[in-house]
Structure 1
Amino acid sequence: MTIDMKPEVQLDTNYYKVVGMRNLTEHTFVLSLPKSRFKFEAGQHVSLSISGDYQSREYSIYSAENEENLEVLVKEVDGGYFSPKLKHLKLGDMVEVHGPFGKFGLDEKRKESHKHVFIASGTGIAPFHSIVKSNAGLDYHLIHGVRYVGEGYEKESYDADRLTLCTSRDKTGDFNGRVTDYLKKTNFDKNTCFYLCGNSDMIFDSMEILSDKGFGRENITVEVYF
């Protein structure tokens, strides 16, 4: 189900009205807020809190730099405190946004000279969605690790020949197995920059595999989801 409305102007420096909620799976959704004068670089994240609530959470920005709305990709955590509250927000509800934060993003000095390999698990794909949509013509390869094909969030957003969907619990993806299994079996050009985003186990295991293939930390940028 998709709910979409024209974005409204920002009422306060940090407060935004919810203008859209796009459900990608039963538990994963895209929250849309009016971008207004909010500026960020693809790969950065924001901190969100709900009006009247004392807690906040950090989410990578999902939307492109030049898009009309500011979007974040959220997975509702079973038994969690914050994500279910975001899931039940309605159009017009207020969300407080702080940021942007972080330096995770494209290596601009190597943008034209290198291939850019994005390695993600689950909702760790969010910053890569922003980077790809913000950089037309980029030479990239996105490797996304999920359990089932249905969790390949908006995979139609990427060039089909630049996306490898690794599915660990079904055989209908591009590769049956984990991201790390795919990395072990794949050779990469020396002029490659790697960007890793997702759970810590995937990241640390992937870094070890890439190290064994001769790629040092100068070739790898990391964003860890705990």
Structure 2
Amino acid sequence: MPFIIQLTRRMWLTDTVFELAFTKPNRLTWLPGQHIRFDFAGADRDYTPVSLPGDPLIRICVRKTGQGRFSDHLSRCPEGERFKISGPHGHFLYHPGETLDVFVGTGTGVAPFVAYASSGVSGFILLQGAKTFDELIYRNLLEPNSRQYVPCISRAPDAGPVFHGRVTDFLKNRLPPDYYQFYLCGREEMIQDAMNIIDDKFSDAKVFFERFT
């Protein structure tokens, strides 16, 4: 079902990542981890709300790439601009179980985990991948809700207790054997590398994933 929403606020989280807040239509609802679909110039763009359906606004997290027309437009369009969306879409939902949950997210791929944590999910292991320490967005929400929070920094050494390497490096070399349920969200390359490691090292694990380009 199509809806019209209106931009109310833009907040920059880093030099390249920002959060947008939109008006929320009364009839629009979703489950944490699902996404809404924007219709922009005849093309679809999907974003997972970091907000919950009971919140007064729809909030999404966007990275300005310099190569994406829509993300660049969102980074500079004025408050009050209207957008056509549909939803909810997707099935990247949280499934409570007896095994230990491992969330693996890179960049804005932590958005569904923010939604999970906001809805009350806790006690998970989170591997959050970023290039620098400053890009660990939403850490203040994710870390307190986690059983173990592992910031994985892939570039220059930064201050603080972090794992210097990619999330897949931690999966391969540091995550101990156990029965896990994995949730992966990020780019195709990370998803594929993580799946190969899980198949080899944690063959009994359940895996749910959401990829973006």
With normalisation by structure 2, the TM-score equals: 0.89
- 1:140-163 per-position Cα deviation (integer Å, ceiling 9, x unaligned): 111111111111112111235632
Could you tell me how far apart the structure 2 residues matched to 1:164 and 1:214 are?
A: 19
Q: Which of 131, 134, 141 does residue 116 from structure 2 map onto?
A: 131
Match of 2:148 in 1: 162
Q: Which amino acid aligns with 1:187?
A: P
Please state whether the residue corresponding to 1:31 is helix, strand or coil. strand
Aligned partners of 1:46 and 1:100 also within 8 Å: yes
Please state whether the residue corresponding to 2:68 is helix, strand or coil. coil
Could you tell me how far apart the structure 2 residues matched to 1:30 and 1:102 are?
A: 21
Q: Which of 84, 91, 99 does residue 103 from structure 1 map onto?
A: 91
Could you tell me how far apart the structure 1 residues matched to 2:116 and 2:133 are?
A: 22
Residues 14-93 of structure 1 mapped to structure 2, 5 A cutoff: 14-37=3-26, 38-50=28-40, 53-93=41-81
Could you tell me how far apart the structure 2 residues matched to 1:198 and 1:87 are?
A: 21
Task: Note the residue ranges of structure 2 that are not aligned, 5 or more in a row.
Answer: none
Further displaced range: 26-35 or 152-161:
152-161
Report the CA distance shift for 1:176/1:89 in structure 2 as closer, same or farther (over 3 A).
same
Aligned partners of 1:16 and 1:97 also within 8 Å: yes
Q: Which amino acid aligns with 2:156?
A: D
Match of 1:222 in 2: 209
Q: Which amino acid aligns with 1:57?
A: R
Report the CA distance shift for 1:56/1:88 in structure 2 as closer, same or farther (over 3 A).
farther
Q: Does 1:152 align with 2:136?
A: yes
Q: How many residues align?
A: 207
- 1:57-102 per-position Cα deviation (integer Å, ceiling 9, x unaligned): 1112222343221111111121321111111122211011111101
Instruction: Give the aligned CA root-mean-square deviation in angstroms.
Output: 1.9
Identity score, percent: 29
Task: Note the residue ranges of structure 1 that are not aligned, 5 or more in a row.
Answer: 1-11
Task: Write 1 or 2 for the structure with the bigger share of strand.
Answer: 2
Q: Does 1:116 align with 2:101?
A: yes
Aligned partners of 2:2 and 2:87 also within 8 Å: no
